[in-house]
Amino acid sequence: MDTEQEEMQFLGLFGICKEAYKLIFRWRKIFSQITLSLILPLSFIVLAHMEISNLLKRKIIRTEIQLIETQAGTSRYNKLSQVISSEIMYFRLFQAAYFTFSLILSLLSTAAVVYTVASIYTGKEVSFKKVLSVVPKVWKRLMVTFICSFVALFLYFIFLVTDFAVIAAILWWVSNGDASFVMPILWVVIILWLVGLFYLTIIWDLASVVSVLEDSCGFAAMMKSRALIKGKMVVTSLIFFLLIVSLSIIQFVFQLMVVHGGRVAMVSRISYGILCFLLLFMLIVLRLVIQTVIYFVCKSYHHENIDKSALSNHLDVYLGEYVPLKSKDVQLEQVEV
């Protein structure tokens, strides 16, 4: 990295994005190899899932319409019932397969990019072969963090849905069913719920970096991630918000012009599909590099000097095993200001 560790704490929105761009451009060979092997397949799966899911859903809806229009008890009705059961089963199997493959590729991509950026930061030589040898071992730690993050998000969702139902019932009773009084309050509750969900997503993203570079994973990595974000919450939130908005725009355009673009010329649909595909994989690469840069920025902000030699040693494959950083090496000494 061009920016010294002590100076990284002063990087803002544009500084972090500029640092990420420099890393990708200067080390474009290794990032291109990671993109071709992991991120391109991930991007293709994400967009293909949207198209295929739409086709399967439309097929199920057509069968349901035929079933409704058919007299119950007839042989055609029984046959259609079997067909729709098979179609629903295939749809669920497809969703499960998509979730599995996208999760694996996402975690592998995260491990590869974070390891690569950390290696560049320490000044050690990094090659695609070395990245591939380390990534499968780091992947296990990321899976633990993912499972814990998923559990946290699930509990948060259950808690909020329960609270939302209770609040809605109380407000409805107090206002005697006056929707003009209830709805504004419920919208405030929904917005607060979305803010909390966004906050958990940021913690999860940074916890993935912590899981690769430190000896913590799972809930411990999430707690360290939460502590790191303090003081840099505004710039971190703004960056991740822009990344999420960019991803949403790409998906919206793909849905509008490709998935539901039946009236659009085939050439135009293909062009939009290729454009969305290119933008998606570039955005994924940028996001992974940015979240790793944010990790170092947060470390610098808390005046924690990372021992580059210790970081380099722990990033090496020692006796064929990945050795994560220990707390004394990466949680670092507090520097007096």
Query: What are 119-144's pLDDT values in tens digits?
Result: 888 777 778 888 888 887 788 888 89
pLDDT at 326: 52
Instruction: Please list the ranges in the chain whose pLDDT falls under 70.
Output: 1-6, 171-172, 174-182, 305-337
pLDDT at 181: 66
pLDDT at 97: 93
In whole angstroms, give the CA distance from residue 161 to residue 153: 12
In which element (H, E) is residue 334 found? strand 333-334
Q: 5: number of CA atoms within 13 Å, CB side?
A: 16
Residues near 39 by Cβ (< 8 Å), separated by ≥ 6? 105, 109, 281, 284, 285
At 236-251, the pLDDT tens digits run: 999 999 999 999 999 9
Contact (Cβ atoms closer than 8 angstroms) between residue 106 and residue 42: yes
Q: In this structure, what DSSP letter does residue 35 have? A: I
Q: In this structure, what DSSP letter does residue 27 have? A: T
Contact (Cβ atoms closer than 8 angstroms) between residue 202 and residue 235: no
In whole angstroms, give the CA distance from residue 261 to residue 254: 9
Q: In this structure, what DSSP letter does residue 256 have? A: I
Sequence letter at residue 299 = K
Residue showing tokens 């990790």: 295
* CB environment 246-266: b (16+ within 10 A), e (fewer): bbeebbebbbebbbebeeeee
pLDDT at 337: 38
Q: What is the torsional sign of CA 195, 196, 197, 201?
A: positive
Question: What secondary structure does DSSP assign to 69-136, as a single string?
Answer: HSPTTSHHHHHHHHHHHHHHHHHHHHHHHHHHHHHHHHHHHHHHHHHHHHHHHHT----HHHHHHHHH
Q: What share of the chain is helix, strand, coil (3-state, %, to 5)?
A: 80, 0, 15
Q: 98: number of CA atoms within 13 Å, CB side?
A: 17
In whole angstroms, give the CA distance from residue 43 to residue 36: 10
Largest CA distance in the chain: 82
Q: What angle do CA 135, 111, 231 make, to 5 degrees?
A: 150
pLDDT at 318: 33
In whole angstroms, give the CA distance from residue 36 to residue 41: 8
Tokens of 207: 């916890």
Residue 16 Rama label (left phi>0; alpha psi -120 to 50; beta): alpha
Strand partners, 181: none
* CB environment 151-177: b (16+ within 10 A), e (fewer): ebeeeeeeebeeeeeeeeeebeeeeee
Question: What secondary structure does DSSP assign to 276-326, as a single string?
Answer: HHHHHHHHHHHHHHHHHHHHHHHHHHTTEE--HHHHHHHHSEETTEE-PPP
pLDDT at 291: 92
